[in-house]
Amino acid sequence: MSNQPYRTALVTGASSGIGAAIVGRLRAAGIAVHAVARDKQRLARLADDTGCTPHAVSVADHDGMAEIAKTVEIDILVNNAGQSRTGNIADTTAEDIDALVDVNLRAVLKLTHLVVPGMVRRNRGHIVNISSIAGHYAFAGGNTVYHATKAGVHSLSRQLRCDLYGSAIRVTEISPARVETEVFGRLIGDMEEAKRRFFDEYESLLPVDIADSVAFAVLAPQRMNVSFMEVLPTMQVVGGLNFAKKSADPA
């Protein structure tokens, strides 16, 4: 730890799942962590368990996030907060579109915009964006808006490396496939059913796997930037091809 320059991290979506695991992993590495999420009670438990500093605020609350950015010197920004929905573009709602864009993309852009100038002044920092394979691959059953927002995070990560070229600031995008978290239960409204349908018969990633991926990138020697990491369960593949048959009645 003595040869790495980072002292303080800010992690969004920190109250459970991947975010909570990242908080714990960075705290174990001796980094002071500011944990951001909406669930005050879960954040309090996380603070008791890890010694992080909790901030019960939504990432979509720009003023609230600006206040944190103004008072905390952030060396590591982990943009992890995200939401998903069921359905495709034909059956989603305008409210779902707004919610996904606000949390998954607009909040990432605004928080990055708040934090990067300080990193540039100090010539020290690391931005870690947690995206998704949904940002790189199209597959049936995925929510169209979710895919689009994660593609935006992917594009942001690539462009940030151009924006910060010549500085010591690193940018890492970590793109997970299926991770065993509560998000599936929220999507279908039944945690037990989600466990049965998505996890009981499959070996999925665990939140700690993504936290360890973040730690690998963040704690790597400063000469090394892990720019992109796609993390899949061993038994899951991406891609594939579907070919619809001709319809007897095109109408």
Q: What is the pLDDT of residue 1?
A: 41
More confident residue, 196 or 62: 62
Find which of 15-24, 80-89, 177-186 is predicted with most confidence, using mean pLDDT. Answer: 15-24
Share of the chain above pLDDT 70, in %: 91
Length of the chain: 251
146 is annotated as an active-site residue: yes
pLDDT band at 243; cut points 50, 70, 90 = confident
Q: What is the pLDDT of residue 178?
A: 86
> Which contiguous run of DSSP H or E holds residue 174?
strand 170-176
Stretch among 32-41, 63-72, 135-144 having the lowest mean pLDDT = 135-144
Q: Which domains does the chain have, with CATH numbers?
A: 8-229 (3.40.50.720)
CB 210 within 8 A of CB 18: yes
- The whole-model pTM stands at 0.91
CB 105 within 8 A of CB 116: no
Q: Provide the 10 A C-beta neighbour count for residue 229.
A: 16
| Per annotation, catalytic residue among 137, 146, 165, 202 | 146
